[in-house]
Every structure is written in C-alpha cells, then in structure tokens.
Amino acid sequence: MDHKVIDALRIFARILRQEGHRFVLIGASVPQLIFDIREGAIGSGGRETEDVDAVAEVKSWNDFDRLRERILQAGFRQGRVAHEFFFGDEVRIDLIPFGPALIEQGRLSWPGSGTIMNSCGLAEALDCARDEEIADRLTLPVVTIPGLVLTKIIAYLDRPEERARDLIDILYCFQRYETKPGASRRFNLADIQVDDKPLSYEDAGAYLIGIEIAALAKPNSLAAVRQFVQRISDEFARPIGQILAQERRLVDNEQRRGMLYRLFQVFCAGINQSPN
C-alpha cells in the first residue's frame, strides 16, 4: 500500500481511537489488504486503490460533526460532501457515520443535503471486524471478506447502474477466498452438489462466502442479499452483463457468462444452507 495512504490512515486511526469511536475499514481497499498484502500476492489481479472507505460508530450527527472537525484540524481537507476527506492531492477517505440515532427505517439521511444511504450491512461490518497489520506498527480493524461482500451487495442495489465495479470486487472475493496456501476448506466441499453438479474448487469460495453471509447478516440485510441473487436468474441477467462490460473481454464471452452464472448459483446455494 502506498506510503501516502499509510500516513493518512495512521492519523485517521489515531483520531478515531482518541475520540473513542469504534470503526472498521470497508470498501475496495479490503481485497488489497487481505488478499494481496496479507497473503503476499501483490499484482495478482486485486483492485489497487488510494481511496479508503471506513465506518465509524457515532452517537449523533453532532458527534459526527465534532469528529469531522478533529479530522480537518489534523491536516485533512474536506471533500465535496461531509463524509469525504482528502489527505494531500491523492488520498481520499470516505468516513460513513453509523449509530441507532442516525438511522430511520434502515436509511442514513444526511442532514441538509438530501443524500440518503442504505444502512444495511454497516452494523455487521463493525461486528465482524478483525485486526489486520497493514504496515509496520499499524494495525487496523478491517471487515472480513464475507462482511465486505455483504456491504458491496447492498451498495450495488442502491445504485446498480453506477456501481458495476462493486460486482468486480464481489467476483474477486469469490475467486480468492480461502485460497491461501495451506487452506483446506475448499477441498472439504467436494461431496456437495449444486443444481446436480458437483462443487468444484473454483466454485467453492462463492459457496463459503454465501454460508458465512447467511450466518452474519441481520434479517433486513439478508433479505437484500436474497433480492440481489434473484436478479441473476440466467446467464443474461444485467449484473452478468455489467461484469463482462467491466472485464472488456474480446473472446469467450459466452463461456464466461456460464462461468459467472455458475458462481452466483453456488453463492445462492451457500446462502440457502443457513436456517436464517
């Protein structure tokens, strides 16, 4: 991870901890942190980014405003919206506030701006956070991969035509989850069948993530995930077309459609293994 991002995160984390706020890193930086950095596979296809997304637990909008002022006093610059902060010219951190006092009917409504955000998945992201050492003497709470996929699905459903890149991140997690040398969970699924077809090693990551999301997600979040997978009813579903457009493949699109559809079928099967 670029040293400028590390410098920004050191300051950011120090402020949040000094102010007593529970927080977690989410967003496009997480696959890079967990897969590429922790597992030593930089350059293997992860989505490199100098943008960082985080969720912080706050008591009220006034509480968030006080936190925002502390961040600005520490050398960050306000972006075009209240939750966007810049460090230098290149590093951007989006800090999403979360807390019961801020949520109405599952929505986060920003005062005075008219911006409304789906809050599903944010509580789960905070709850499942795990400490990750992302640089020398810098350990931060990072959402787990199932928690990340959950938040990505919610974000995509909010603005499906604008957030096709979330589908790429979801797919990347399906492909890389539990592939670290020595991991055996994928191999333990060899006897499982989905749609009368044995689960392959390549499919198993999506299945495992489905199981873990079903165990992690609160009822409203799980309902949103089920809504998402219902949209992918065949190989020509809109999300699959968006992935192909993002990948810009010139050949084998039809074969790729089948592979993508299979992954989402397997993901759905994993979700349905849960009694939730």
Nearest to 195 by CA among 213, 177, 207, 180: 207
**pLDDT attached to residue 43:** 43
For the record, the structure tokens of 8 come out as 């920004």
Q: What is the pLDDT of residues 107-158, one digit of tens each?
A: 998 887 778 889 999 999 999 999 988 888 899 999 999 999 999 999 999 9
Q: Which residues pair with 135 in a beta bridge?
A: 138
Identity at 164, one-letter amino acid code: A
Distance CA 131, CA 125 (A): 13
- For the chain, the straight-line distance linking the first and the last C-alpha, in angstroms and rounded, comes to 38
**pLDDT attached to residue 46:** 47
Three-state DSSP class for residue 185? coil
Identity at 197, one-letter amino acid code: K
Q: What is the pLDDT of residues 16-48, one digit of tens each?
A: 999 999 999 998 778 777 776 655 444 444 455
> Does pTM surpass 0.75?
yes
Radius of gyration for the alpha carbons in the chain, expressed in angstroms and rounded: 19
**pLDDT attached to residue 33:** 74
Domains in the chain and their CATH numbers? 3-143 (3.30.460), 158-272 (no CATH)
